[in-house]
Amino acid sequence: MDFFFDLPWRCWVLPGLLVMAWTGLWWGSRRARLWFAGLMPPGAVVIILLGLSEMLSPVRPQQQGEPADLSARISALGSGPGMLIAAVGLLTLVVGTALTITTFVVETTLMVRRHE
């Protein structure tokens, strides 16, 4: 749990924007709200995959023609922008899944109440 609280503020921008957009869509159409809620988790998975691909991309050698050292590749795996992108994607996945579940529960409840 400390992992989430130790992240810099930049990691919380995308989940915060998603919450603000989701809140604003409650005054919009139901179709837009359901599309937004349905596409949030897959979009977060894409962000995680982008971060992982950046983390696992090969380290560029210092000099031309010299192959990348394996120890340099291993030490560079946990640092750099790939880890930050994957962390933002993970936060977005958690927030997006919670908002999707909330949206579907509320919309189902409203649909049942309309048909009674």
Tens-digit pLDDT profile for residues 13-62:
889 999 999 999 989 888 999 999 999 999 999 999 999 888 887 665 55
Count CB-CB contacts under 10 A for residue 106.
13
* Number of domains forming the structure of the chain: 1
Mean pLDDT (the chain) is: 82
Asked if residue 26 belongs to a domain, the reply is no
pTM for the full predicted model = 0.76
pLDDT at 87: 86
Asked if residue 89 belongs to a domain, the reply is yes
Asked if residue 2 belongs to a domain, the reply is no
Report the distance separating Cα 43 and Cα 35, nearest Å. 12
Asked if residue 21 belongs to a domain, the reply is no
Question: For residues 8 and 70, which has the higher predicted lDDT (pLDDT)?
Answer: 8
Domain with 85 in it: 33-57+69-116
Asked if residue 17 belongs to a domain, the reply is no
Asked if residue 86 belongs to a domain, the reply is yes
